[in-house]
Chain A
Amino acid sequence: MPQDKERDREAIARLTESMIDHIISSNDEEILSESKELYGDIPQAAAQMRALLEKTVLHANKRNLENARIALAQSNVGSEATVLPINKLEARQCYEAFLVRDSDASSKITMAARNGKQQSQRDIDSALSDMAELGAFLKSNKT
């Protein structure tokens, strides 16, 4: 019978609870006297427990940090920067058309960095990248 199998265990659990209730309700003097018999020097035994606590605090902080890292990593899943594929030739044509439409643009774009010189390929790629980020080529990519 299942009740019989658990009967002794439950009996011991009840006795244990009763002993623990008594420990909790006992006054400090009784507890210290009993503990002295079991653990010897009380200040030393309590110091061991405080050292155990500090060690556990460090362990818990480490675990909390790991949990925070995992949570951060999980919250970043699916929210990476969206990379839109662009047609480089089309983008270049679009950029050149823009420069033709606005005669001042060529001198304005990256003027400070070029120090009056012609745009290098790197300057152009950088400008294309900036414009792509601003969505300048979205329409042309969709078509």
Chain B
Amino acid sequence: MSQPAVNKPANEIKDLLRALTDAEWMKLRLIARCHCNWRGLGRWTEPDDLLQEALLRTLDGSRNCPSDITVIKFLDGVMRSLADGEWEKHSRRPVLVAIVGHGGEPGIAPDPADVRPDSEKSLLYTQARQRLIDLFKNDAEAQIIVEGMMDGMDGQELRDLTELDPIAYDSKRRLIRRRINKDLANGETDATR
């Protein structure tokens, strides 16, 4: 029989958060940025707002942190779930259009012809995917890694494909991440622009 999951007590979480180093805070900020800009496509939530919401849900007990997970990993999971939820909420919002009712009274109603939830969602991600691949059009190894990651390939498979040793592969991953972040920072906060 499996043991019931044990959660970190609220006070312990508070202490752990207060003890985070500068580098750990920066990690959380970078993680929030990834979730916000790519998972939610950067349209509705600022990264720091997303991080704050994750902190709030952890501190008020809405989300329980299992004792065997680090607080950074746990907050990553909460942010992932929030970013996904935000996207779902947005994509299901109906488009309202002006109508004239049977009694001649003007009003608004969901547009029955609007197909945005699926088509727009699909298009935004298609654009974002292409944009990410195009970022590395002058770096074949990086492009293979990016596309391989998108296809769910693991590190060993990607190293085999690119013939990079572990150190060079890690260095390439860092370059990829920084280029993606830098590109986003230099432009609008819109991954699909």
Contact = CB atoms under 8 A, between A and B. Distances in A.
Interface string B96-114: 0000000000000000000
Interface of A is mostly: helix
A80 interface: no
Given A8-B126, A23-B27, A38-B185, A15 B56 contact: no
Q: How large is the interface on A (under 10, 10 to 19, 20 to 34, 35 or more residues)?
A: 35 or more
Interface string A9-41: 101111110111011101010111011011100
Q: How large is the interface on B (under 10, 10 to 19, 20 to 34, 35 or more residues)?
A: 35 or more
B128 interface: yes
Given A12-B128, A34-B30, A53-B17, A18 B149 contact: yes
Contact of A8 (B73, B122, B152, B180): B122
Given A24-B72, A28-B23, A49-B28, A16 B39 contact: yes
Interface in B117-169: 118, 121-122, 125-126, 128-129, 132, 146, 149-152
Interface of A: 4-5, 8-9, 11-16, 18-20, 22-24, 26, 28, 30-32, 34-35, 37-39, 42-43, 45-46, 49-50, 52-53, 55-57, 59-60, 63-64, 67
